[in-house]
């Protein structure tokens, strides 16, 4: 049994005193690493890689071999849950996820009928088993799902749109269908995340990339409500939950009613402001702009320092990017970022 008290990331989440600010990177296993690209090639593509437990475990561990990261994250995708609805998912190079038959009405859901049981995703659970064995308690493993709203946007749009025309039209014109779909995804997500927990993930996370498309009241009604439902239904036994919201801006009205442990924010918000508003409720994760990893060491140092200054002294902060790392970033820059943080963050933790 791992002794969770040894994980600095969990101490940061629980606001226990720590020696330095911990860090992990969204999409840390990804295309910016040549070894990831090679393993993906070996697997025969992204989806085949996810469905191959040995290779999915291998890419999960790759960034940890290079960098002193404080967490690992399961190599998978939030859209894999569509397997349970028997919806055909492809990932097309430079285009992203595509569903050949996206959903547009209740009729489509009726045609799908009863979803498959979560055992169908056994390849994910096998991957978790392998990763836990390999990690051997070195760093915690983060398991995750997409928020029902964010997953619904892809199931309805069928691809990575920038406009979200279809889903916003359905929101206005066919709310009953949208709500049925959100309820269905919520139920599947609970089963799926619960099973990840039973296989030993140490931290859970919900990615709500597109919650911010909605105005405040809609955000509550179509996204946050289901996050709350997920948290209330799951049996977590002290395993923390990180809720990541992109483009939050000033939509704080309903967030304080969330019973989460960590709020993950992107670089469009001021971490000082978020801490003032919600820091007594949650720990905060973020929020370096990925663009800074394209700049030189001096600017990178300044930015790290600025974020640490804004958060201020003490525990409760997990350093991360505001969004996933992109394929163009040089791996050396990630090493530099971690070195800088290890160098300057200890002085924010002297009691």
User: Per CB under 6 A, which region of 74-82, 192-200, 281-289, 290-298 contacts ligand CP3?
Assistant: 74-82
b/e per residue 229-266 (b: at least 16 CB within 10 A):
bbbeebeeeebbbbbbbbbbeebeebbeebebbbbbbb
Q: Quick one: 225 or 246, whose CB is closer to ligand CP3? A: 246
Q: Quick one: 242 or 301, whose CB is closer to ligand CP3? A: 242
* Residues 148-177 contacting ligand CP3, CB under 6 A: 160
| Closest distance of CB 130 from ligand CP3, Å | 15
Q: Does 66 bind ligand CP3 (CB under 6 A)?
A: no
Q: Does 73 bind ligand CP3 (CB under 6 A)?
A: yes
Q: Are the C-beta atoms of residues 83 and 93 closer than 8 Å to each other?
A: no
Site string for ligand CP3, 249-278 (x = CB under 6 A): ------------------------------
Q: Does 192 bind ligand CP3 (CB under 6 A)?
A: no
**What size, in residues, is the chain?**
351
Q: Does 24 bind ligand CP3 (CB under 6 A)?
A: no
Q: Quick one: 207 or 348, whose CB is closer to ligand CP3? A: 207
| Closest distance of CB 100 from ligand CP3, Å | 16
| Closest distance of CB 256 from ligand CP3, Å | 23
Q: Does 105 bind ligand CP3 (CB under 6 A)?
A: no
Q: Which of 69, 71, 79, 230 binds ligand CP3 (CB under 6 A)?
A: 79
Q: What Cα–Cα distance (Å) separates residue 50 from each residue in 6, 76, 151, 329? A: 29, 5, 18, 23
Q: Which of 21, 28, 196, 283 binds ligand CP3 (CB under 6 A)?
A: 28
Q: Quick one: 39 or 191, whose CB is closer to ligand CP3? A: 39
Q: Does 35 bind ligand CP3 (CB under 6 A)?
A: no
Residue 122: count of CB within 10 angstroms of its CB: 12
Residue 320: φ, ψ to 5°: -165, 175
Of the candidates 242, 263, 251, the residue with the CA atom closest to the CA atom of residue 222: 251
Q: Quick one: 40 or 51, whose CB is closer to ligand CP3? A: 40
Distance from C-alpha of 226 to C-alpha of 116, rounded to nearest angstrom: 21
Q: Does 97 bind ligand CP3 (CB under 6 A)?
A: yes
| Closest distance of CB 104 from ligand CP3, Å | 20
Q: Which residues bind ligand CP3 (CB under 6 A)?
A: 26-31, 40, 46, 73, 75-79, 91, 96-97, 144, 160, 207, 209, 246, 324
């Amino acid at each position: 049994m791992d002794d969770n008290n040894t994980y600095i990331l969990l101490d940061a989440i629980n606001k226990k005193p720590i020696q330095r600010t911990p860090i992990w990177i969204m999409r840390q296993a990804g295309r910016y690493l040549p070894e990831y690209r090679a393993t993906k090639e070996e697997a025969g593509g992204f989806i085949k890689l996810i469905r191959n437990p040995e290779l999915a475990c291998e890419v999960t561990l790759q960034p940890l071999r290079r960098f002193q990261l404080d967490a690992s994250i399961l190599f998978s995708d939030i859209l894999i849950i569509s397997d349970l609805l028997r919806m055909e998912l492809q990932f097309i190079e430079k285009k992203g996820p595509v569903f050949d038959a996206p959903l547009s009405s209740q009729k489509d859901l009726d045609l799908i009928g009863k979803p498959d049981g979560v055992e169908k995703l056994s390849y994910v659970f096998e991957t978790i088993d392998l990763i836990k064995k390999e990690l051997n308690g070195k760093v915690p493993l983060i398991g995750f799902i997409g928020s029902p709203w964010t997953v619904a946007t892809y199931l309805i749009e069928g691809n990575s749109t920038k406009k979200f025309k279809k889903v916003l039209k359905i929101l206005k014109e066919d709310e009953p269908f949208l709500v049925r779909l959100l309820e269905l995804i919520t139920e599947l997500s609970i089963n799926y995340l619960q099973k990840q927990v039973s296989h030993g993930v140490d931290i859970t996370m919900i990615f709500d990339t597109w919650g911010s498309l909605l105005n405040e009241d809609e955000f509550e009604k179509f996204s946050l409500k289901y996050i709350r439902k997920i948290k209330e239904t799951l049996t977590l036994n002290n395993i923390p939950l990180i809720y990541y919201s992109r483009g939050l801006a000033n939509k704080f009205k309903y967030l304080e009613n969330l019973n989460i442990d960590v709020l993950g924010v992107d670089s469009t918000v001021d971490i000082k402001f978020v801490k003032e508003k919600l820091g007594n409720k949650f720990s905060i994760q973020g929020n370096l702009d990925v663009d800074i990893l394209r700049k030189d060491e001096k600017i990178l140092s300044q930015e790290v320092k600025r974020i640490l200054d804004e958060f201020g002294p003490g525990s409760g902060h997990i350093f991360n990017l505001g969004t996933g790392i992109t394929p163009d970033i040089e791996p050396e820059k990630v090493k530099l970022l971690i070195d800088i943080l290890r160098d300057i963050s200890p002085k924010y933790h002297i009691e």
